[in-house]
Amino acid sequence: MRAPVLLYACFGVDPRRWSQELRRALPELELRLWPEAGDRGEIDYVLAWNHPPGFLTQFPNLHAIFSMGAGVDRLLLDPELPAHVPLVRMADPGLAVFIKEYVLMRVLHYHRDMPAYEQQQRARLWRQQPPLETRQRRVGVLGVGQIGGSCARALAELGFEVRGWARSARELPGVTVFSGAGSLPQFLSGVQILVCLLPLTPATRGILNAELFVQLARGAWLINLGRGAHLVEADLLRALDSGQLAGATLDVFATEPLPHEHPFWLDPRITVTPHAAALTRPETAVPRLVENIARERSGQPLLDLVDRAAGY
C-alpha cells in the first residue's frame, strides 16, 4: 500500500507548525503544501480552510475532506463541493477547552457586575455592587453539542441556573435542556446571560434578532461565539439603545476582519474580540486527523462526519 498523500490547503494559515506536527505524528504521510500539489490525481485527503469556490474539484480521487475548523459553513457554501467525498469537521479537544474558558470568563464578568465597575472607575466613583449568588443567575446556552454542552456543564458546576437549547433532545447533568423550535420561547424566558454556540445553518441564520431579544430578561447580556451571521446587527444596537440588552460580547462577525469604520469598535456596551475565543492548534488537532486517516485506510467509519443536510 502506497503512502497516503495529504494536501494542506488552508488559505491564510501558516503551514509550518502543521507540517511539523503532521510529519512527526505520521512519518509515512506524504504531505504537500498548496500550491505545490504535484499530480492532483494522487491526492487522497485535503486539509482545507477558506478555499475559493470550486477549488476541491481539481482533485478527482479524494477519500476525505478535513475542515481545519469546527464549523463547516464556509465549506458548505462552496457550490462545487464534491458531493461524494466524506466531509469531516475538526473535533480538536483543545478548542473545547479554550471556548469553555472564554465562556466562563465572560459569564463571570457580567455576573459580577464588572461593566458597572469599569464605568465607575472612569467616573472615579467608589460604590460596591451587591453580588448575586450564581444560583440566582439564569444562563442560557444556545447549542449544546460537544462544545456547548461542555460549557453548559461547567457553568452548572459553578452553581448557575443553566438552560440549554438544541435541535434534538439530549440530557446534560445539571442543565435543563429544551429541544426543537417550539421550545425556544420557553428556553429564553427569564434568561439573563445568553451564550450562542450554534452551528450556522439556514434555520439558525439571523436567530439573534429583535424577536429573540425581547423574550430575554430585561437588561440581559449576549455572548456570541457561533457565527457572525447568527446576529442581526441592527437589532442588537436597537436592543442596547432600548435597554432590553445591557451589553454584548462578540467574537464573530458577518464581515471579518471587522471593518475599521464599524460602530461596534467604539461602542462601550460591546466587547469585540477578533474571532479569537479558540484557535485550532496542530498539537491537539493532529492526533484526531491522524486517527481518521488510519480509519479510512483500514476501511473503518470516519469520526466527526458532517451531516450535510443538517449543516454540521
Enumerate the active-site residues. Answer: 227, 275
By DSSP bridging, strand 138-142 and strand 161-166 are: parallel
Q: Which of 298, 283, 297, 290 is nearest to 26 (CA)?
A: 290
By DSSP bridging, strand 64-67 and strand 45-49 are: parallel
d(CA 246, CA 287): 42
- Please identify which residue in the block is written with the cell numbers 461593566: 115
d(CA 103, CA 154): 9
Q: Which of 192, 265, 190, 197 is nearest to 233 (CA)?
A: 265
C-alpha cell belonging to residue 23 = 510529519
Strand arrangement, sheet containing 5-10: 30-33, 5-10, 45-49, 64-67, 87-88
DSSP label at residue 266: G
d(CA 16, CA 8): 11
CB 197 within 8 A of CB 148: yes
